[in-house]
Amino acid sequence: MDAIDFLTDRAALPVAVTAQARRCLLDLVGVGWGGSILPLAQIVADHAAADLPGTVPLAFDARTAAPMGVALAAGMTIDALDGHDGANATKGHAGCGLIAGLLAVVPDAMPGAAVLDLLARGYEVAHRAGVTQHATSPDYHTSGAWVAVAVAGLAARVAGLDAGAMREAMGIAEYHGPRSQMMRCIDAPTMVKDGSGQGAMVGVQAAALAARGFTGAPARVCDGPAWDDLGTRWMIHEQYFKPYPVCRWAQAPVEAVLSLRGALEAPIETVTIETFHEAIRLAVTRPTTTEEAQYSTAFPVAVALARGGIGPRDVSGETLTDAAVLEIASRVRFVEDAAANAAFPAVRMARARIVAGGVEHVSAWHRPRWDSDAPPTDSELAAKFDQIVAGIVAPARANRLKTMLASDDWTMADLRAALRP
């Protein structure tokens, strides 16, 4: 089965697949609410409402915009907090751009079960496009580059385009997609981040162009070995969820230092992190913005040691100037480990050595929490949701949203209404 056949197929997906899509949706919505209060999200919502005017409700905002503006703003808003799901195989994030595209184009009357079906299909297409792109391109591109292709296919299906027009839409999206180089943002963190909103916008635009007869170059990322098991292997189950709103590459070091924190009985003198090259490239020690805090390893490690964890408020505001956190961050050093490099990207590994009071404490090798082989429970994801939206969404409203998404008794109109301030 190729991508077009899979996206146009009307057969029911396995129950476990749509159940996983439901978990992903709750997580994406929570992360989006958390991101909505950050400067990045506020800027892009203003841009969408003013410069891409239309009648579709913006997510996490009271205004409206054109479908492309809704996709751009929703994707960037979820990406703003950097706590959304991802996959080791693609070194990126599918869900953020996918739900952004669906919020832009799905009609109000579509039932929740149908929305989840589309979301689940999008994950399978997006991840395979990402695996194919990384196998054929020398540059590590942002998620928006390959998410754009999946969003175009979903938007084409929603618009009722035939298989030929859907193929053109996906080709347009691949050609015009944001093939931005991720390591540039790792080395100099700014609001451009993972390209998810831009990819969602390009995907929505591509389907609209194809509906008018615009043609696209063949989508090369839709061919190759990664597609051989489409419909039998479910990559949505191979994703991780994030316990912390920082880059996934920093999360193994965070787990390593947290494993030692309870044994530290004296002030910390040095922290040495042994890990893979990419985690060390997250080199910001004294962040001044949320983006610098998220694309850092030393800072999240210091927050975890000072506070016992990392919450959504720990990557902005007063935490960025917390003297205790910055003092620990200044004491963090890194050692690149050959075994950790060899294991990446399938496995992200780190070990910590902390000297406190003249005593060295050495951790075991750690992986990030909530990888696909040890996923969070439903209650853990619900607790993460509650932690993120606290102070942003009233508790009663947050509970209604969780209850709604746990059932199939909702429509896209209901979801849009739940995402309005």
| 376 falls within a domain | no
Identify the pLDDT of residue 15: 98
What distance in Å separates the CA atoms of residue 274 and residue 271, rounded to the nearest whole number? 10
Q: 387 CB contacts (<8 Å, ≥6 apart)?
A: 311, 312
Global pTM value:
0.97
Give the CATH number for residue 300. Answer: 3.30.1330.120
Taken as a whole, the chain contains a residue count of 421
Task: Give the total number of structural domains in the chain.
Answer: 2
Mean pLDDT of the chain: 97
Residue 186 and residue 270 share a domain: no
| 374 falls within a domain | no
Residue 129 and residue 62 share a domain: yes
Contacts 24+ apart (CB under 8 A), 223-229: 223/132, 224/132, 224/135, 224/136, 226/128, 226/131, 226/132, 226/135, 227/2, 227/3, 227/128, 227/132
Q: 193 CB contacts (<8 Å, ≥6 apart)?
A: 40, 76, 79, 80, 82, 142, 185, 291
Residue 66 and residue 32 share a domain: yes
Identify the pLDDT of residue 192: 94
Identify the pLDDT of residue 138: 78
Residue 165 and residue 65 share a domain: yes
| 190 falls within a domain | yes
Q: What are phi and psi of 149, to 5 degrees?
A: -65, -45
CA angle 144, 401, 42 (to 5 degrees): 45
pLDDT digits (tens, 9 = 90+) for 325-348: 999 999 999 999 999 999 999 999
Give the CATH number for residue 84. Answer: 1.10.4100.10
| 368 falls within a domain | no
Identify the pLDDT of residue 136: 86
Residue 306 and residue 166 share a domain: no
Identify the pLDDT of residue 97: 98
Residue 27 and residue 115 share a domain: yes
Residue 57 and residue 175 share a domain: yes
Residue 392 and residue 281 share a domain: no
* Boundaries of domain holding 322: 248-362
Identify the pLDDT of residue 139: 83
Residue 322 and residue 237 share a domain: no
Residue 265 and residue 166 share a domain: no
Tens of each residue's pLDDT in the chain, 421 residues = 899 999 999 999 999 999 999 999 999 999 999 999 999 999 999 999 999 999 999 999 999 999 999 999 999 999 999 999 999 999 999 999 999 999 999 999 999 999 999 999 999 999 999 999 999 887 888 999 999 999 999 999 999 999 999 999 999 999 999 988 988 999 999 999 999 999 999 999 999 999 999 999 999 999 999 999 999 999 999 999 999 999 999 999 999 999 999 999 999 999 999 999 999 999 999 999 999 999 999 999 999 999 999 999 999 999 999 999 999 999 999 999 999 999 999 999 999 999 999 999 999 999 999 999 999 999 999 999 999 999 999 999 999 999 999 999 999 999 999 999 9
